[in-house]
Structure 1
């Protein structure tokens, strides 16, 4: 049996061979730190991401990053789309397909009063001559805002170039001709889907589809639509023009894609082949649907609601979970509907309510 080492001998060994004595102690300390420290940190965070319904409480969807970790964690159970969106700091994504850039569109967009730090923008631009010009103007406008005062900057801006075919160099009359509607609307659907799937985030509560030729709307557009707390809600799209007969400014209906289905519309659809679509607003296809554009009452309550079966894309607010559940813009005949009208049909098939506001107006550019 070896005699015990006294203190003097112990310290002599440390001086002569420090690694023999201190090495095991250092290894034990490292193992203790790695094992117990990481387990304590991880116990604070939930890796479970689960889809659930809407909550009326303040959401906690801020990315939870571990120190030195590059993984962001989002709990979709706490992601809400509520009528108190500003108070709850709910993120809104504004999506706009851009074939032409209108200065009045951008000016109107900057007038929206929803907090900028809660707003993200997404654009998709076609690979056409008009698209190239629109992209240059859009980038210039964005640069002015995003390099300005911090409080005026948007949270995030995404620009995509369309990777599918698009109809180029068409004026308003050409692009609204009935014979081009199926191809035009199919291309628009593909563009909308690309933009949606690329720009939506796990923190997005609402998606506002706002056409690039909407040049006037109430500054409180987002808050007004949010306050109705509907899965899908559409404003009524009109157009300002000069009435030559009465020599004064006037307004007229523009978007006829917000409608209520009719018996005649169902009969027409029943007689169609699978690859045919019904396009609303054309005398060649008389569906006799109730068009929201014709229900505008200048003395009526702006909060008046009506149930819809089809929507346009002028100004439509969608709870993000409607899109997450699979409601997209069909580029193919879906119950003989396509693009935005097909989206409304898909949303309703998923059990969501689609609502229109006949007395709440936004205005389309007048060419």
Structure 2
């Protein structure tokens, strides 16, 4: 048995990072969806790891750092690149392909340009390059606005993103028609539902399918203020169990699963989040966040743990829900019509915008927009034993 070398790039996108591959660089057996591809990506990331550390792989032992991306020139009309995202479980042997990663979406455009996946004729010598991305997991269009300087992607800059230590160049990302899949943005037809969760109670919930399927509940209804940091949730096994139960019952109510036990094999979607009106708090970095500077508080869980900042796709869900009067997100922000909100998360604040329209018997999301940044951390080859897949 020997190790094989696979060209790869380790990139940060927003508050996440992952291993990026060109489809054509993967071993032939892993170029098609299936067990071989999943086994390869699991071994690259270092999963499943019963120790939860991913020491023998590229993963960082959190949902934000256990990610993979496969890119190729697009087969879809009017798009530059096809983008497939795989969320790798840390302690279980599976890769979840059910949704997108909004944070890594910001890195797709820069990677595509740097790896020759975008027609050079479409790239300015200096200015902003518009990269048209086909998000293959959910069948949606993303447009990344990538800064270019002297013909190269501009990665450094002064744009600061809470949850990321150093400033970088700003990459604006538009999520077009962000409702996930072809179903209704509100699968139940309601902007607020009564969600029965045995052992927890009957909770008011907004179940939305935009950016990523998300279950929103009121923080106060489950005993929180909305200003909690990671340890308050992740250090409480009973709380994590309650949140997983809320997530599973929400998934069932949204029609994402047919039986509750299926939720364990669909960790990436839906997300579960809790919202509250604004208040002062201290972020994980020690930075003070004034309630007067934000519209609401949001905390979200990903892969069973409270996220250290905010998932990009969940931010799309927040922006879209905030734009629809009467949702729990909208009400926490003060109600009324809104095209953008600034919300507080464990690492600081984030401003997101969205446009939603009512008509034809329901709501539709036109576009959601946020600013992120991206940077290449390392490029070269990953190595895996040749019997890994």
TM-score (norm 1): 0.25
More helix by proportion, 1 or 2? 1
More strand by proportion, 1 or 2? 2
